[in-house]
Structure 1
Amino acid sequence: MSSPTPNQQRAIDENGTNIIVSAGAGSGKTFVLKERVLKTVKSGVPIDNLIILTFTNAAALEMKNRIRKILTQNKLKDAEIVDSAYITTFDSFANSIVKKYNYLLGMSKDFTIIDSIVVTTEIKKILDDILEEEYKNKEEKFTNFINHLCYKKDDTLRDSLIKCYRSLQNIINRKEFLNTYLDKYYTDSFIEQKLDEYENNIFELLGKFREIFELINEHCTDEEATIENEKTKEMIDNILSIDDLIINFSQLKVSKTKRVYDDEYPNLKDQLDEVKKNITKYLDYTRNDLKRYYLSTKDDVEVIINILLKLDERLMKFKDEKNAYEFIDIEYKAIEVVKNNKDVQEEIRNSTYEIMIDEYQDTNDIQEEFVSLIENNNVYMVGDVKQSIYGFRNANPYIFKSKYDKYAKNENGTKIDLETNFRSRREVIKCINDIFSYIMYDNIGGANYKKDHIMEFGKKFYDENNDKDVDYNVSLLNYKREKEFNYSKDEVEAFIIADDIKKKMDEKRHAYHEVDGKDAFIDISYKDFCILVDKSTNFELIRKILESKGIPVYIDKSLSIKEDDEIFILKNLISLLICIKNQDFSYKFKHAYASICRSYIYRVDDDEIYNIFKNNSFVDTKLFQILEEITKYIDVVSNKELLYMLIDKFDFINKTILVGDVNARIIKLESFINQADSLNKFGMDIYSLENHFENILSSDDSDIQINSIKSDIDAVRVMTIHGSKGLEFNYVYMPYMQSRFKFKESGLISLNKEQGIISPFYDDGLDNTFMYHLNNLNSIKETISEKIRLFYVAITRAKEKFIMVSEFNEKITNNVNLDEHDLLSVKSFEDIITLLKNYLMPYTKYIDINTIEIDKNYLKSKKLDYKTMINKTTDKIETKKLNIHAEKLENKHFSKTISSIINSELRNTLDFGIKMHYCFEVYDFNKNNIDELDIEDKCKKCIKNFLKHEEVKNISSAKVYKEHEIKFNDNGNIMHGFIDLLVEYDDHFDIFDYKLSNIDSEEYEKQLNGYKKYIENKYKKNTNIYLYSIHQDIVKKITK
Structure 2
Amino acid sequence: MGLLNDNELADFNEFLMKKYGTSPDGSHNSKFEAITTFNKNILLSAGAGCGKTTTLSLRVLYGILVKDLSVSDMLILTFTNNAAREMKDRIKDDLKEFATKKEKYPFINEEASKKLLDEAEKVDSAQISTFDSFSNAIVRKYADRLGVSPTFTILDQTVNDYMFYKVEDEIINEEFNNPNSKIRSFFDRDVSTNSGLLKSMIASLEKMRQTESNAEDIFDNWKENYLSNQEKIQNNATFYCLNYYAEYMMALGAVLDQFRLDYVDVQANDEENSATFFERAAVKIRKIGEKYYYLECQDYYSEVQNMIHDMENISFQGKKSGPKEIFRPMDRSWWKNEVVSQYEGDDQKLELLEKQKKCIKDSYDNIKNSLIQILPTETSVALMDKNAEYIDYAIELNKKIHQIVQEQKKEHNAYTFFDVSYMCLKLLKENSDIREEEKNRIKTIMVDEYQDSNNSQEELLMLLGTDEEQLLTMDDDNKVFTVNFVENRFNRNITFMVGDVKQSIYGFRNAKPDLFMSKYQNPEDNNFELLTMTDNYRSDSQVVDEVNSFFTSNMTLQVGGVDYANDINQQIKASNKTLNQISSTDFNDLGSYDYDFEDKELPAKITNGQLKKHIIAFDIAKKIKSWVESKKVIVTEKRDGSRRPAEYKDFAILVRAKNQANPYVKAFSSLNIPCTLDIDQDFKMNTATMVLENLVKLEYYLTEMKSGRKLTNDELDSYKHCIASVERSFLLNVKDIQIIEDVKNCLSLDEAKRPLVLKMLDEVNVPGESEIKSPNQIIKEIFSKFDVYYKISTLNNPDEILSSYNFFISEIDNLSSMGFSYNEFIEYFKELREGDLSDTPQELKLYKARGNSILITTIHKSKGMEYPFVIVPMSNKGPKSKDENGSLIFDENYGFIPSFTKADKDFIREQCPRDNSKKDANGEGKIWNSDKKNEFNFVFPQLLAHELQKAKDDLSEHLRLVYVALTRARLANVMVFSNSITMKSRLYYSTRLLPKSFEDFGARASHSFMRLQHGDCAHYSMEDIISDVDKSNIPYKQELLDSNSFSIRLCDPLPDSVTKNKLNNFARASKADSVFADKDNEKFGTKLHLELENLDWSNYPTLPKSDFIKNEREKMLIDKFIRSDFISNLVGRHPQFYQEFEFIDPVSHHEGSIDLAIVTDDTSYVIDYKTSSTADLAYRRQVSIYRKNLAELMNIDIHKIECYLYSIIEGKFVKVDVDDVK
- How would you bin the TM-score normalised by the shorter chain? 0.7 to 0.9
Q: 1:297 touches 1:760 (CA, 8 Å); kept in 2?
A: no
Match of 1:100 in 2: 141
Q: 1:577 touches 1:630 (CA, 8 Å); kept in 2?
A: no
Match of 2:861 in 1: 723
Once the 2 structures are TM-superposed, how far is the Cα of residue 477 of structure 1 from its aligned partner?
Answer: 4.4
Q: From 964, 969, 972, give the equivalent of 1:801.
A: 972
Match of 1:550 in 2: 672
Once the 2 structures are TM-superposed, how far is the Cα of residue 35 of structure 1 from its aligned partner?
Answer: 1.1
Once the 2 structures are TM-superposed, how far is the Cα of residue 813 of structure 1 from its aligned partner?
Answer: 6.7
In 2 relative to 1, CA 764–347 (structure 1 residues): closer, same or farther, beyond 3 Å? closer
Map 1:446-457 to 2 at 5 A. Answer: 446-452=561-567, 453-457=570-574
Match of 1:287 in 2: 376
Once the 2 structures are TM-superposed, how far is the Cα of residue 370 of structure 1 from its aligned partner?
Answer: 0.6
In 2 relative to 1, CA 543–619 (structure 1 residues): closer, same or farther, beyond 3 Å? farther
CA distance in 2, matches of 1:901, 1:880: 13
Q: Structure 1 residue 458 and structure 2 residue 575: aligned?
A: yes
In 2 relative to 1, CA 350–765 (structure 1 residues): closer, same or farther, beyond 3 Å? closer
CA distance in 1, matches of 2:84, 2:728: 43
Q: Structure 1 residue 315 and structure 2 residue 405: aligned?
A: yes
Map 1:239-258 to 2 at 5 A. Answer: 241-247=303-309, 249-250=311-312, 251-253=322-324, 254-256=327-329, 257-258=331-332
Q: From 810, 832, 844, give the equivalent of 1:706.
A: 844
Once the 2 structures are TM-superposed, how far is the Cα of residue 793 of structure 1 from its aligned partner?
Answer: 0.5
Q: From 260, 271, 286, give the equivalent of 1:223.
A: 271
Map 1:268-417 to 2 at 5 A. Answer: 268-279=356-367, 280-288=369-377, 289-375=379-465, 376-407=492-523, 411-417=526-532
Q: 1:48 touches 1:85 (CA, 8 Å); kept in 2?
A: yes
Deviations 1:667-703, CA, capped at 9 Å, x for gaps? 2122212321232222223222223322333435533
Once the 2 structures are TM-superposed, how far is the Cα of residue 361 of structure 1 from its aligned partner?
Answer: 0.8
Deviations 1:126-154, CA, capped at 9 Å, x for gaps? 21232123222344743222233473422
Match of 1:506 in 2: 629
CA distance in 2, matches of 1:350, 1:671: 39
Number of residues of Structure 1 aligned to a counterpart in Structure 2: 896
Map 1:489-568 to 2 at 5 A. Answer: 489-509=612-632, 511-512=634-635, 514=637, 518-568=640-690
Of the structure 1 ranges 368-377 and 637-646, higher mean CA displacement relative to structure 2 is found in 637-646
Deviations 1:747-780, CA, capped at 9 Å, x for gaps? 2023334243321233556575333333222222
Match of 2:797 in 1: 661
Q: 1:479 touches 1:846 (CA, 8 Å); kept in 2?
A: yes
CA distance in 2, matches of 1:467, 1:901: 59
Q: 1:441 touches 1:448 (CA, 8 Å); kept in 2?
A: yes
Aligned partner of 2:51: which letter? Answer: G
Q: CA RMSD in A?
A: 3.7
Q: Structure 1 residue 196 and structure 2 residue 196: aligned?
A: no
Of the structure 1 ranges 230-239 and 410-419, higher mean CA displacement relative to structure 2 is found in 230-239
CA distance in 2, matches of 1:478, 1:761: 44
Q: Structure 1 residue 641 and structure 2 residue 761: aligned?
A: no
Give the 3-state SS of the residue equivalent to 1:822 in structure 2: coil
Structure 2 runs not aligned, ≥5 long: 1-15, 23-28, 100-112, 293-301, 313-321, 341-351, 466-491, 906-935, 1037-1053, 1064-1085, 1096-1105, 1107-1114, 1122-1167, 1185-1216
Aligned partner of 1:53: which letter? Answer: L
Q: Structure 1 residue 873 and structure 2 residue 1011: aligned?
A: no
Match of 2:1057 in 1: 863
Q: 2:246 touches 2:290 (CA, 8 Å); kept in 1?
A: no
Q: Structure 1 residue 483 and structure 2 residue 615: aligned?
A: no
Aligned partner of 2:630: which letter? Answer: E
Give the 3-state SS of the residue equivalent to 1:495 in structure 2: helix
* TM-score normalized by the length of structure 1: 0.79
In 2 relative to 1, CA 559–760 (structure 1 residues): closer, same or farther, beyond 3 Å? closer
Give the 3-state SS of the residue equivalent to 1:718 in structure 2: strand
Q: 1:759 touches 1:769 (CA, 8 Å); kept in 2?
A: no
Once the 2 structures are TM-superposed, how far is the Cα of residue 354 of structure 1 from its aligned partner?
Answer: 1.2
Match of 1:175 in 2: 216
Match of 1:757 in 2: 896
Q: Structure 1 residue 846 and structure 2 residue 969: aligned?
A: no
Give the 3-state SS of the residue equivalent to 2:1170 in structure 1: coil
In 2 relative to 1, CA 435–662 (structure 1 residues): closer, same or farther, beyond 3 Å? same
In 2 relative to 1, CA 344–742 (structure 1 residues): closer, same or farther, beyond 3 Å? same
* TM-score normalized by the length of structure 2: 0.68
Once the 2 structures are TM-superposed, how far is the Cα of residue 109 of structure 1 from its aligned partner?
Answer: 1.7
Once the 2 structures are TM-superposed, how far is the Cα of residue 419 of structure 1 from its aligned partner?
Answer: 0.7
Q: 1:600 touches 1:866 (CA, 8 Å); kept in 2?
A: no
Map 1:853-1002 to 2 at 5 A. Answer: 853-854=1028-1029, 855=1032, 857-859=1034-1036, 861-863=1055-1057, 865-866=1059-1060, 872-874=1093-1095, 878=1118, 902=1170, 906=1174, 909-912=1177-1180
Once the 2 structures are TM-superposed, how far is the Cα of residue 598 of structure 1 from its aligned partner?
Answer: 4.3
CA distance in 2, matches of 1:230, 1:733: 40
CA distance in 2, matches of 1:171, 1:851: 55
Q: 2:682 touches 2:843 (CA, 8 Å); kept in 1?
A: yes
Aligned partner of 1:3: which letter? Answer: K
Q: 1:510 touches 1:521 (CA, 8 Å); kept in 2?
A: no
Match of 2:96 in 1: 72
Q: From 799, 823, 832, give the equivalent of 2:1001.
A: 832
In 2 relative to 1, CA 908–830 (structure 1 residues): closer, same or farther, beyond 3 Å? farther
Map 1:25-44 to 2 at 5 A. Answer: 25-43=48-66, 44=68
Q: From 153, 166, 178, give the equivalent of 1:137.
A: 178
Q: 1:55 touches 1:89 (CA, 8 Å); kept in 2?
A: yes
Q: 1:142 touches 1:300 (CA, 8 Å); kept in 2?
A: no
Once the 2 structures are TM-superposed, how far is the Cα of residue 24 of structure 1 from its aligned partner?
Answer: 0.8
In 2 relative to 1, CA 818–472 (structure 1 residues): closer, same or farther, beyond 3 Å? farther
Map 1:1006-1025 to 2 at 5 A. Answer: none
In 2 relative to 1, CA 336–711 (structure 1 residues): closer, same or farther, beyond 3 Å? same
CA distance in 2, matches of 1:518, 1:692: 55
Of the structure 1 ranges 727-736 and 860-869, higher mean CA displacement relative to structure 2 is found in 860-869
CA distance in 2, matches of 1:690, 1:58: 33
Once the 2 structures are TM-superposed, how far is the Cα of residue 715 of structure 1 from its aligned partner?
Answer: 0.8
Once the 2 structures are TM-superposed, how far is the Cα of residue 523 of structure 1 from its aligned partner?
Answer: 2.7
Q: 1:18 touches 1:413 (CA, 8 Å); kept in 2?
A: yes
Once the 2 structures are TM-superposed, how far is the Cα of residue 45 of structure 1 from its aligned partner?
Answer: 1.3
Give the 3-state SS of the residue equivalent to 1:448 in structure 2: coil
Of the structure 1 ranges 318-327 and 426-435, higher mean CA displacement relative to structure 2 is found in 318-327
In 2 relative to 1, CA 606–79 (structure 1 residues): closer, same or farther, beyond 3 Å? closer
Once the 2 structures are TM-superposed, how far is the Cα of residue 833 of structure 1 from its aligned partner?
Answer: 2.1
Once the 2 structures are TM-superposed, how far is the Cα of residue 542 of structure 1 from its aligned partner?
Answer: 2.0
Give the 3-state SS of the residue equivalent to 1:241 in structure 2: helix
Once the 2 structures are TM-superposed, how far is the Cα of residue 587 of structure 1 from its aligned partner?
Answer: 3.5
CA distance in 1, matches of 2:971, 2:959: 22
In 2 relative to 1, CA 430–242 (structure 1 residues): closer, same or farther, beyond 3 Å? same
CA distance in 2, matches of 1:345, 1:770: 43
Deviations 1:97-122, CA, capped at 9 Å, x for gaps? 12222232232222221111221121
Aligned partner of 1:27: which letter? Answer: C
CA distance in 2, matches of 1:541, 1:618: 46
Once the 2 structures are TM-superposed, how far is the Cα of residue 20 of structure 1 from its aligned partner?
Answer: 0.7
Aligned partner of 1:494: which letter? Answer: A
Of the structure 1 ranges 199-208 and 729-738, higher mean CA displacement relative to structure 2 is found in 199-208
Match of 1:999 in 2: none
Once the 2 structures are TM-superposed, how far is the Cα of residue 50 of structure 1 from its aligned partner?
Answer: 1.0
Structure 1 runs not aligned, ≥5 long: 882-899, 917-1029, 1032-1040
Of the structure 1 ranges 46-55 and 199-208, higher mean CA displacement relative to structure 2 is found in 199-208
CA distance in 2, matches of 1:201, 1:235: 13
CA distance in 1, matches of 2:626, 2:632: 9
Match of 1:19 in 2: 42
Aligned partner of 1:555: which letter? Answer: L
Percent of aligned pairs with the same residue? 26
Once the 2 structures are TM-superposed, how far is the Cα of residue 276 of structure 1 from its aligned partner?
Answer: 3.2
CA distance in 2, matches of 1:905, 1:402: 72
Aligned partner of 1:789: which letter? Answer: R
Of the structure 1 ranges 195-204 and 359-368, higher mean CA displacement relative to structure 2 is found in 195-204
